[in-house]
Amino acid sequence: MKEIRYFYSPNASDLTELPSDEAQHAIRVLRLQVGDDIYLMDGQGMFYHAEVTLSVGKHCSYIIKEELPQTKTWLGRIHLAIAPTKMMDRMEWMLEKATEIGVDEVTMLLCQFSERKKIRTDRLDKIIVSAMKQSRKAWKPRLNDLTQFKDFIVQSRRGRKFIAHCYHDIEKVDLFEELQQVPQDEEITVLVGPEGDFSIDEVHFALEHGYESIALGSSRLRTETAGLMAVTMGQLSKRKL
Amino acid sequence: MKEIRYFYSPNASDLTELPSDEAQHAIRVLRLQVGDDIYLMDGQGMFYHAEVTLSVGKHCSYIIKEELPQTKTWLGRIHLAIAPTKMMDRMEWMLEKATEIGVDEVTMLLCQFSERKKIRTDRLDKIIVSAMKQSRKAWKPRLNDLTQFKDFIVQSRRGRKFIAHCYHDIEKVDLFEELQQVPQDEEITVLVGPEGDFSIDEVHFALEHGYESIALGSSRLRTETAGLMAVTMGQLSKRKL
């Protein structure tokens, strides 16, 4: 049986050929031929069953044979806002895994103790697309560019908002326990700090703006593990069974 | 404030100097001096507060000042048996993250569709030790060498046993749902297959030997993500709050 090929094409139904990077992969790596079946994902809930009609040079054209609307497997929205780690590979695998497990939106935060102050959003976006295709996610997680902590906090936001931190003298609730009390279809936003944690000023600023102080269990987790744990707790609380 | 230094020394209380690799790290990298405070972890539930008494060449001696018995943060035992991925770095980060999140035992499985047939247990063990130190785990996860699938299945084992697989025509229960019904202090063993899944024969063989057929949610997960999800589901079910 031939493996089913998935391609990401955000405007699949308006177009008749694959975006150039996907076309190159289709032609040079997969060596698709006229008549081959392909599947297109628009990242907005629709898959398309299509057939290759032309495969020449850098162009791969198709005709859509069937629309395949997908059903989201979880309710509400999961938004992770996280300070990127000094070592970018740790952030990259976190994004790959969060996409596989299921996340709706990720914002990279610039915090007081951030060691990394620049990110390449285009590179991270490619990792998300690759994980989305591999795990057949019908909705593409939205990735926001590096945002100043305080700018993020003052933005109006729906649903419940949480900040994970390591200060022992600020009372915390366990995120997973708390999520059992939150309606499944409610949006949640979880903040995870850099290696050196949020500053105490940042934590207070968030608490003053309606964020709830939380722990992600009792383990001492690295930034990227904490991010993934937050997404997993959200997912296990919001998934449809 | 000086950062607290943790060292792994499985026989800390019987010895008066650090194991050689830890000693080299202490002397060459951290440049510890006589009189410096250190913490020793024996990987069996005990931390020791100690003081450096000699730091010369490759030797770092200490005297123990205080025993600090630790409390385990979860009940029962979590055993993950997983076929190593073709790309070993994926297995390495899974082990790092599973150690951070909390796992008791990991067995590497050799399956019918395994693409990787050899592993370097010593290298993987170092990753576990590093993650254990970083996340301050008082118990070191046990890592077993590559084991033939059928040999593993026929071994007698306490507690509940689960096999995760992708065959749609074999009925499954969701692992996390099922774990809510299992007493917290019971041992669990979860099997995760290679990139090409377990063979249907392997799944039937496991079912005949008391394994229960499970899914890890509805997402299509890579092997290493499935392994981490199994550990996380176990941890969220067994942790003390």
Confidence of residue B2 (pLDDT cuts 50, 70, 90): low
B87 touching chain A per CB within 8 A: no
Mean pLDDT, chain A, rounded, equals 95
Q: pLDDT grade, residue B4 (50/70/90)?
A: confident
Distance (Å, whole) CA A35 – CA A46: 22
The count of other CB atoms within 10 Å of the CB of residue B147 is: 15
Q: SS3 of B238, please?
A: helix
- Give B128-192 as a DSSP string: HHHHHHHTT-SBPPEEEEEEEHHHHHHS---SEEEEE---TTS--EEHHHHHTTS-TTS-EEEEE
- Cβ within 8 Å, pair B135-A220: yes
The Cα of A195 is separated from the nearest Cα of chain B by a number of Å equal to 12
DSSP class per residue in A88-155: HHHHHHHHHHHHHH--SEEEEEE-TT-S-----HHHHHHHHHHHHHHTT-SBPPEEEEEEEHHHHHHS
Q: Which residues pair with B110 in a beta bridge?
A: B148
Contact B219 A101 (CB under 8 A): yes
Is pLDDT at B201 greater than 60 in this prediction?
yes
How big is chain A by its Cα radius of gyration, in Å? 20
State if pTM tops 0.90. Answer: yes
Mean pLDDT of A51-79: 95
pLDDT, tens digit, for every residue of A207-219?
A: 999 999 999 999 9
> Does any CB of chain A come closer than 8 Å to the CB of residue B166?
no
B1 has pLDDT over 50: no
- Percent of chain A clearing pLDDT 70 (strictly above): 99
Q: Is a pLDDT exceeding 50 seen at residue A6?
A: yes
**Whether the predicted interface score ipTM is above 0.90:** yes
Q: What is the pLDDT of residue B57?
A: 85
Q: What is the pLDDT of residue A224?
A: 97
Q: Is A111 on the interface with B (CB under 8 A)?
A: no
Both structure tokens of B202: 């392997």
At A1, the pLDDT band (50, 70, 90 cuts) reads very low
Interchain contact, A97 vs B239, CB within 8 Å = no
Examine the pLDDT at B101 and tell me if it is beyond 70.
Answer: yes
B102 touches chain A (CB under 8 A): yes
A232 and B235: CB-CB below 8 Å? no
Q: What is the pLDDT of residue A4?
A: 81
Domains annotated for chain B, with CATH where assigned, are: 6-69 (2.40.240.20), 77-238 (3.40.1280.10)
Q: In the 8-state DSSP scheme, what is residue A3?
A: P
Asked whether the predicted pLDDT for residue A63 surpasses 80, the reply is: yes
Closest-CA distance, A204 to chain B, in angstroms, reads 23
Average pLDDT (B52-60) is: 91
Spatial distance between the Cα atoms of A94 and A114, rounded to a whole number of angstroms: 17
8 Å CB contact between A126 and A176: no
C-beta separation of A207 from A161 below 8 A: no
- Rounded to the nearest angstrom, the minimum Cα separation between B151 and chain A is 31
How far is Cα B74 from Cα B102, in angstroms, rounded to an integer? 8
Q: A102 to chain B: which residues are within 8 Å by CB?
A: 219
- Considering only CB atoms, B102 lies closest to which of A219, A235, A240, namely A219
Question: Quick one: average pLDDT of B171-177?
Answer: 97
Minimal Cβ distance to B100: which of A135, A225, A232: A225
Lowest pLDDT segment from A173-187, A194-208, B19-33, B61-75: B19-33
B145 pLDDT more than 60? yes
Mean pLDDT of A217-236: 96
- Confidence category of residue B3, pLDDT binned at 50, 70, 90: confident
For the segment A10-24, the average pLDDT, to the nearest whole number, is 93
Any B CB within 8 A of A93 CB: yes
pLDDT at B241: 84
Minimal C-alpha gap between B154 and chain A (Å): 32
Q: Does the beta-carbon distance from B220 to A176 stay under 8 Å? A: no
Confidence of residue B85 (pLDDT cuts 50, 70, 90): very high
Best CA proximity match to A57, nearest among A35, A26, A98, A11: A26
Average pLDDT over residues A117-137: 95
- The helix or strand, by DSSP H or E, that contains position A6, with its residue range, turns out to be strand A6-8
pLDDT of residue A2: 62
pLDDT at A194 over 90: yes
Spatial contact of B107 and B80, defined as CB atoms under 8 Å apart:
yes
**Distance between CA atoms of residues B82 and B217, nearest Å:** 18
The H-or-E segment that residue A204 falls in is helix A200-208
Residue A20, H or E segment? helix A20-24
Closest among A19, A52, A13, A12 to A36, alpha carbons compared: A52
Q: Does A47 touch chain B (CB under 8 A)?
A: no
